[in-house]
Copies of this chain bind each other. A is one copy, B any other.
């Protein structure tokens, strides 16, 4: 249950470090931030969604979603329009240009991922993934 202090925080520490080191490299390699690519990915699969549905999928604050989508709209990658049947909702979809550009993003991302998982066998990957899933569950179970 409890083990020696030197090791105790190490995994948490490593998780943070990996995140901090990986995020900026991801952005430089792919040319887009992970959050934005996530948004585009979801849109890629869905054709058109409400903003709130999108927000629930990517799991970032709706304020951030609004700002991202506005910028992506400014760059001509997504289109937004109000739901005519319910003006509270705004529908979001990829533009043609967005749809084209996301393909190259995906490519860059795949290359990035293979670099990150270099020398990991299939078994190791699934083993790692399973452990991460368990950690995720533990984190979720922490009340407060």
Contact = CB atoms under 8 A, between A and B. Distances in A.
A125 B14 contact: no
The copy count of this chain in the complex is 2
A28 interface: yes
A15 B17 contact: no
Contacts of A134: 119-120
B125 A20 contact: no
Contacts of A16: 19, 34
A117 B138 contact: yes
A97 B12 CA distance: 26
B59 A17 contact: yes
A18 B116 contact: no
A133 B34 CA distance: 22
Interface residues of A, number: 56
Contacts of A129: 7, 10-11, 14
A113 interface: yes
A132 B14 CA distance: 7
Contacts of A140: 21
A32 to B, nearest CB: 14
A82 B128 CA distance: 47
Given A9-B109, A28-B144, A124-B131, A21 B114 contact: no
